[in-house]
Amino acid sequence: SKLPPRVLYWFRTDLRLHDSPALHAALELKPEFFYPIWTWDPQYVFAHKVGVNRCNFLLESIENLSFSLTACNPKAKLHVVRGPPQTVIPALCKAWNITHLVYEKDTAGYAAVRDAEIKAYVLKEGIEVIDILGHTLYDPQAIIELNGGKPTMSISSWSAAAKKLSSPSRPLPPPDKLPSPGDMPLAGFSREDHPVMTGVDLNEAYRVSATTCFDTMAGPDGNFSIPTMEELGFPPATTSIHGGETEALKRLEAYCADKARVVKFAKPKTSPAEFDPPATTQLSPYLKFGCLGSREFLWRVRDTIDQWDKDENGKKNNEITEHPENLEGQLCFREMYYAAEWSQGLRFGQIRGNAICRFIDWRLQNQYDADGLKTHPRPLGHTRDEERLSAWKEGRTGFPWIDAIMRQLRQEGWIHHLARHSVACFLTRGQCYISWERGAETFDELLIDWDPCANAGNWMWLSCSAFFSMYYRVYGVKSFPEKYDKTGKLVRKFCPELVNFPDKFIYTPHLAPVDVQERAGCIIGRDYPFPMLDEKAEKEQCMQRVKAAYALGLYGNDPATFDGSAVTK
Ligand code: FAD
């Protein structure tokens, strides 16, 4: 006879109970037992150099979710399983007599590859798999199909496709009760019974962990506890941004309490120099880990605007910001990158093999003569590039606007969108002429909200490799921040050595006369670096190089870029 449903519910980037179509579907099965798990996937931790702030955010989010599960059933908690999901999920399904594996579908990057493999394996074992979209508002695959099978390379092409689909539904409420989790016997587990699955691109760390995970998957106390930062070998976090669904909903509520702010939100007008509080919602870390549902965000924004409009009797509706500069438009950019990523899969995060990525040879130190292009490739790992990259990463370029942002990124794990524009442009086509892949790697390490679609997509945008092509528009390291803040608040906060400089020199302290430097208690070249490059001269050169790359018209999937000499990765 058929077993009553025993559900293994696998939480991933959906660390919430509200607005969860997959969780809803799992509970619709009326399971006898409901096993909520999180798998601590070494591939996730080691393939990415996850920094201290993202790791901390994740642990806090897991902890918060576990509390919420317990509130729905005193016997429930989130079981953290240490080990690669490709190995532990099939094993747990067997040990706990699972009938249904349920999870929110992930369409992006490594997760999509991993899930396809696990799904195929588990189905073969006669277990039902229910995977339902929930992370995004729309199905990326459906968007691409409606876009004629082509990647969505602009917000207008994305919008045209999305218009053909029904509008996202209102968020589902969280459950208030949960079925009991079953007992979780691990006795009798052995590696031999559960061979490690192959076929995945196993790196060294993954392989080690796969062979030892059966001894350690329930954690040091054998009770699937949530690891601590210490157990994972991390020092304490430095950010003021804390994880969890509770915090996410509180922040959404607080942001929307100021209705006019929501109504008049216009992204280009929000200041990258504001940080306490920031000028945008700062909800990206919560959307990334799914502590906040995207439909919850969307409908809260829509309802807030409707309410404001009612309060104002519709008299001021010319003050409502339009798409895509409004808040809803921000979610649409997120969707655009998810759809574009779906069209490329794993290659979206790199130049090589990426059909949408313009090939710009970031190694070239081009010199031009009357005949056109003469190129002098410098070797990979060229010292000057490495020095520039380290200085950028560590916030010691000698350009206070860049340094303040990079230090904020390291300390807080979050920076404003236009701050990301500034530092990404500077590293790539603006001044340093270093591949966007290197910048994206740094963001992967330091951002809490790192996301395979938004990060690579935006890096391609800023480096003029895809989505955007106006390479002659470069952010000035003085003129741009001055548009928002002539007093240099962000610099004074994150580069405290410059705190006493007068406003006039706050973005260019090296131009201050020595007596001004002395009075500010900071001598440039001793207490803060000189600019590491000539901003204007490098900008001119970069523009010429990118112009030449555009003239060549190669893309990352072009065989000409595959010959070993012309790839950067
Ligand atoms: P808000 O302005 O309040 O917007 C609300 C939400 O919309 C955000 O939380 C985010 O989920 C989404 N959103 C807004 N703008 C974008 C955008 N351009 N692309 C995708 N989603 C967007 N965002 C990430 O979530 N993860 C990343 O790894 C990431 N890497 C980036 C790298 C570069 C080089 C650049 C220029 C941008 C990157 N962004 C990334 C996009 C954007 O900067 C952040 O989403 C945004 O600044 C987050 O702050 P917020 O929540 O206050 O945004």
pLDDT digit string, tens, across residues 314-349? 888 889 999 999 999 999 999 999 999 999 988 999
Collect all residues with Cβ–Cβ distance below 8 Å to 78 and sequence separation of at least 6: 11, 36, 37, 38, 62, 65, 66, 69, 226
Alpha-helical (H) ranges within 77-180 are 85-95, 109-124, 140-146, 155-163
The answer to whether 56 and 234 have CB atoms below 8 angstroms apart is yes
Q: What is the pLDDT of residues 64-83, one digit of tens each?
A: 999 999 999 999 999 999 88
Torsion angle of C-alpha atoms 319, 322, 326, 331, degrees rounded to 10 = 150
What is the maximum span of the chain, computed from C-alpha positions, in angstroms? 89
User: Whose alpha carbon is nearest atom 34 of ligand 1?
Assistant: 459
pLDDT band at 565 (very low <50, low <70, confident <90, very high): very low
How far is the centre of ligand 1, averaged over its atoms, from the C-alpha of 417 (Å)? 6
Hunting for tokens 């922040």 — which residue is that?
251
The answer to whether 143 and 335 have CB atoms below 8 angstroms apart is yes
Atom of ligand 1 nearest to the CA of 449: 26
pLDDT band at 380 (very low <50, low <70, confident <90, very high): low
| pLDDT at res. 521 | 98
Residue of 298, 458, 463 to test ligand 1 pocket, by largest number of atoms within 8 Å of CB: 458
| Ligand 1 within 6 A of CB of 291 | no
| Ligand 1 within 6 A of CB of 475 | no
Query: Does residue 253 sit in helix, strand or coil?
Result: helix
425-444: average pLDDT: 96
| Ligand 1 within 6 A of CB of 422 | no
34-42: average pLDDT: 90
User: Whose alpha carbon is nearest atom 8 of ligand 1?
Assistant: 284
Atom of ligand 1 nearest to the CA of 287: 11
Q: What is the pLDDT of residues 160-175, one digit of tens each?
A: 999 999 999 999 999 9
| Ligand 1 within 6 A of CB of 54 | no
State residue 546 phi and psi, 5-degree precision.
-70, -40
Hunting for tokens 């910048």 — which residue is that?
439
User: What would the DSSP string read from start to end of 382-428?
Assistant: -HHHHHHHHHHHHT-SS-HHHHHHHHHHHHHS---HHHHHHHHHIII
Residue of 281, 330, 415, 437 to test ligand 1 pocket, by largest number of atoms within 8 Å of CB: 330
The chain-wide mean pLDDT, for the chain, equals: 90
| Ligand 1 within 6 A of CB of 443 | yes
